[in-house]
Structure 1
Amino acid sequence: MKRMPWMFPAIEVAMGPQDWMKTYLVNIAPPRTRVLVPSINPITINHFRNPGSRTAGLDSLMIVDSLRTFEGLVPHPPTRGGSCRFAGRRLPMHDGPDRAGASPTIRMPPETSHMRFHRLDRPLLATVLMVAMATGCEDASTTTAATSKSSTPASAAPTTGTPRPDYPVLAFDDPVIDFGSMGDWEKRQATVTFRNAGGGSLRITKVEPTCGCTSVGFDTTPTYGPDETGEIVLDFTPKGQGRQSKAVRVISNDPDERVRTITIKADIAAALSAAPRVLQLGRVPYRTAHTTGTTLTALQPDIELDKVVTSGVLAPHLNATVTPAGKDGQGRSTWKVDVTLDDRVPWGWFTGSMVVSGRIRTDEGDKPVKMNFAINGSAEGEIAASDSMFRFMMVDAGDTGNRTIDLRRVDLQPFRVLGATVTGRAADGLVATPTPLDPDGRIWRIDLAGSMPATNGVFKGEVLVRTDVPGEEAIILRYSGVVRR
């Protein structure tokens, strides 16, 4: 005898290990229904069916607490969420109650079903929240538009027996690359294989790293038919040390997930350490030479350092040398780097860069090693400033704002500020106004105010201040900021 359909929209979900199955019939009369999954490991969600008489829409599955998701036989790393795919569509899994968020809605007409096997390895009781919408049969072709797209890594193609969608589906064999332990002097390369698991023509429009330590070469002109494969080659040059996880965004015409993520992981061992790591000189006397330095220590054996290079606007005024300094208390090689700032550095804020480099001997031959240093400070003479830079920080495009810097003589004698002129990207919208803060003119305030640039990005420039102080008749105050995107 054929079972009569339920007189309401419903979604039937079968869950359980392969040797145990239990079916939950979820009445979608209320918009949200919670289903408790028994404490079993693993759990398989392998069947979605609408036994009702009206169309039911399944928006998402929510899994409380952490989980490990397996789609087909392709493992994913532990995460605070995952994904569920059926009928060629992907639904997000979230890690907290009532956090389903926006996602594609899958409509199931009466007596339809979709098969997709998932192993949810978790030892604790899970709460699955199914968010559904009930509509009449005449609305079966209507879908709910997603307000955002998932950026979770792509997974394997639908299993055999699942209807192939008529649109492109980007699928990776494995979207996670784990290089394991490696030195910061090493370079690694990995090849990620992808294929079109859908029925439409797939095109990858862009492959972009989200960090500066990955470089990608990929031809975006080819298109890929159903089941055709391609490769993305990634070069990884680590920076820093410790456990690192970097992302590469893959953008395609897959309508379900236009942005997928390839993750690069590695445990980075540093070749060198330094103290201090940044050469912050603070206020140094104007027109007076100044010497500072740092000590480098080899964290790996067989390292030699023999070269120092400076760059930036400060480079013409720097002289740096590196010399061996013997062994430290742990028997590690050390080097002393001496940096001399000459007496021709202009008044005001200065910045520069320095790279100390050499080589490390490995089984594959000598490899280059280096360490980068930032150098900054402020040269001040008879005139001292409360700050050497107008710091606007983050601002909105076209917004108005102001920053101030106070000037005084170190001997507290009166002086005069004769004028102030703004240069740089924001010069058209900013005006610098000098004002004495006391009747004798011992302290002057420079007020930099006006409109911020109309386009986003970094803006910076200078304020030329003219005074009557001998030898410091023209001093430079810098300004900088970032217009939000």
Structure 2
Amino acid sequence: MKGLLVFASIMLFLLCILVISIPLGAEPKTDATVTATKACMSFPEPIFDFGFVYQGEDVTHAFKFQNVGESTLKISRVQASCGCSKAEASDTEIAPGAFGQIGVTFRTGGFIGQQTKIIHVNSNDPINPTIDLQLKGEVKIEVEVKPLTLSFENVSKHEQVTKQFEIIQRGEQKLIIDKVTTDKEYLKIDSVEKREQWGKNVYSVKVTLDSNAPAGYLQGRIDVSTNLERRKTILVGVQGRILGDIKLSRERIDFNVPAGTKKASSVVISTKGDNFEVLRVENNIKYLSAEVITLEKFKKYMIDFSVAPEVPPGPIRGNVKIYTNCPGETELTVHIFGRVVEKTTE
């Protein structure tokens, strides 16, 4: 019994000490209390619906925000989800209670239909270090081009080829094509025909690649002038390749050889037309030599590539030019992508 009284006295003494050590009116700190002393970024409207615009028009908007915290808000990064949009902050440091804005521009060229673009905003807000803003709406088109690019791939020299594209009215304004031109004398506009489809104008344009087109890669454009305010000029791309009389077995050489190996690779040049000759080879690639070997005079040649014996391990890259006396095909290019590696010892 005496022991119990002693134990009870000790516990009462400890309880009194604990009560005295807690200040009157003191409250435990909560997350909300800590947050209030920090920066806090607040966007009243983090989503902006721009409704609809026509393709080619820019959408601009300013997302307004306030620092509702008690410390300076520091914006470290503002990044749009794609390169079609540009976003930047009005200021990178916002005082407590002050306002700022994130300016956004969405370039709609090349986009059709419903679009949603996200803007990521990073700051020193401890609760929301990254806030995502949203720009959404519909991009409409006044005209549709099918296809956007005319392709003349692997057309033989002296061959005449005709392609066609359509320009289709999608908006309410009646589409009228005033003029169609090309930037190449060997690209001819054969015809521009109009028809009506479901109350909309549709134009079919036929383009011919003339037989006098030079051998090599083809890049051009077709300009279509219209009555539309937003699309006064419609551009249609032209690309392709015209195959000449001279055939190069390959335009790119890849090799991976041990140090000390001489032979690297080779290409063969031949013709299916008139006789020709390889006049010279222009090679400025260090440690690589090119030798012309006649396989069949005036018809077939081989360019033999060799690596110098003293070449150190590493890449061997560059372009080699081959010059001929064939009209329209006087210069050919071989792309070299090689590597010399350490010789292994067994």
- Could you say which TM-score interval applies, normalised by the shorter chain? 0.5 to 0.7
SS of 2:231 mapped into structure 1: strand
Residues 1:180 and 1:436: Cα distance change in structure 2 (over 3 Å) = farther
By relative contact order (CA 8 Å, sep 6+), the higher-ranking structure is: 2
> Does the CA contact (< 8 Å) of 2:67 and 2:95 recur in 1?
yes
More helix by percentage: 2
Deviation at residue 224 of structure 1 after TM alignment: 0.8
Residues 1:306 and 1:211: Cα distance change in structure 2 (over 3 Å) = farther
> Does the CA contact (< 8 Å) of 1:383 and 1:409 recur in 2?
yes
AA at the equivalent of 1:235: T
AA at the equivalent of 1:178: D
- Counterpart selection for 2:93 from 196, 208, 223: 223
Match of 2:198 in 1: 330
Query: CA offsets, 1:117-144, max 9 Å, x none?
Result: xxxxxxxxxxxxxxxxxxxxxxxxxxxx
Query: CA offsets, 1:332-385, max 9 Å, x none?
Result: 31223454556776542232344545354xxxxx43366443321123322134
Q: Are 1:474 and 2:331 an aligned pair?
A: yes
Query: CA offsets, 1:427-461, max 9 Å, x none?
Result: x78968577696877364687998389xxxxxxx9
Match of 2:315 in 1: 451
> Does the CA contact (< 8 Å) of 1:390 and 1:403 recur in 2?
no
The whole-number CA distance in structure 2 between the counterparts of 1:187 and 1:299 is: 19
Match of 1:409 in 2: 271
Which residues of 2 match residues 61-210 of structure 1 at below 5 A?
Answer: 114=31, 161=32, 163-164=34-35, 166-204=37-75, 207-210=78-81
Q: Are 1:234 and 2:104 an aligned pair?
A: yes
Deviation at residue 192 of structure 1 after TM alignment: 0.9
Match of 2:141 in 1: 270
SS of 1:164 mapped into structure 2: helix
AA at the equivalent of 1:451: P
> Does the CA contact (< 8 Å) of 2:191 and 2:207 recur in 1?
no
> Does the CA contact (< 8 Å) of 1:318 and 1:341 recur in 2?
yes
Residues 1:349 and 1:266: Cα distance change in structure 2 (over 3 Å) = same
Deviation at residue 282 of structure 1 after TM alignment: 1.0
Counting aligned pairs with the same residue, the percent is 20
Residues 1:438 and 1:327: Cα distance change in structure 2 (over 3 Å) = same
Which ranges in structure 2 are unaligned for 5 or more consecutive residues?
1-27, 255-263, 308-313, 338-346
> Does the CA contact (< 8 Å) of 1:245 and 1:263 recur in 2?
yes
Q: Are 1:384 and 2:247 an aligned pair?
A: yes
The whole-number CA distance in structure 2 between the counterparts of 1:443 and 1:255 is: 71
> Does the CA contact (< 8 Å) of 1:434 and 1:445 recur in 2?
yes
Deviation at residue 326 of structure 1 after TM alignment: 2.0
Deviation at residue 212 of structure 1 after TM alignment: 4.2
Residues 1:419 and 1:321: Cα distance change in structure 2 (over 3 Å) = same
Q: Are 1:306 and 2:168 an aligned pair?
A: no
Residues 1:324 and 1:467: Cα distance change in structure 2 (over 3 Å) = closer
Deviation at residue 278 of structure 1 after TM alignment: 1.9
Q: Are 1:373 and 2:236 an aligned pair?
A: yes
Which ranges in structure 1 are unaligned for 5 or more consecutive residues?
1-110, 115-160, 361-365, 393-401, 423-427, 454-460, 481-485
Q: Are 1:465 and 2:322 an aligned pair?
A: yes
Match of 1:93 in 2: none
> Does the CA contact (< 8 Å) of 1:286 and 1:347 recur in 2?
yes
Query: CA offsets, 1:390-439, max 9 Å, x none?
Result: 499xxxxxxxxx998764322597854731446xxxxx789685776968
The whole-number CA distance in structure 2 between the counterparts of 1:321 and 1:287 is: 18
The whole-number CA distance in structure 1 between the counterparts of 2:131 and 2:286 is: 41
The whole-number CA distance in structure 2 between the counterparts of 1:247 and 1:404 is: 51
Residues 1:322 and 1:445: Cα distance change in structure 2 (over 3 Å) = same
Match of 2:300 in 1: 442
> Does the CA contact (< 8 Å) of 2:276 and 2:325 recur in 1?
no
Deviation at residue 297 of structure 1 after TM alignment: 1.4
SS of 2:105 mapped into structure 1: strand
Query: CA offsets, 1:140-160, max 9 Å, x none?
Result: xxxxxxxxxxxxxxxxxxxxx
> Does the CA contact (< 8 Å) of 1:308 and 1:320 recur in 2?
no
Deviation at residue 465 of structure 1 after TM alignment: 1.7
Instruction: Mark the structure with the bigger radius of gyration.
Output: 2
Query: CA offsets, 1:254-307, max 9 Å, x none?
Result: 577766443322333332223333211112344777654422111223233335
The whole-number CA distance in structure 2 between the counterparts of 1:327 and 1:353 is: 24
The whole-number CA distance in structure 2 between the counterparts of 1:223 and 1:177 is: 24
Match of 1:418 in 2: 280
The whole-number CA distance in structure 1 between the counterparts of 2:146 and 2:197 is: 15
The whole-number CA distance in structure 2 between the counterparts of 1:296 and 1:322 is: 16
The whole-number CA distance in structure 2 between the counterparts of 1:260 and 1:448 is: 58
The number of equivalent residue pairs is 292
The whole-number CA distance in structure 1 between the counterparts of 2:127 and 2:181 is: 50
The whole-number CA distance in structure 1 between the counterparts of 2:98 and 2:283 is: 62
The whole-number CA distance in structure 1 between the counterparts of 2:291 and 2:46 is: 58
Residues 1:410 and 1:451: Cα distance change in structure 2 (over 3 Å) = same
Match of 1:150 in 2: none
The whole-number CA distance in structure 2 between the counterparts of 1:275 and 1:328 is: 16
SS of 1:352 mapped into structure 2: strand
AA at the equivalent of 1:225: A
> Does the CA contact (< 8 Å) of 1:306 and 1:323 recur in 2?
no
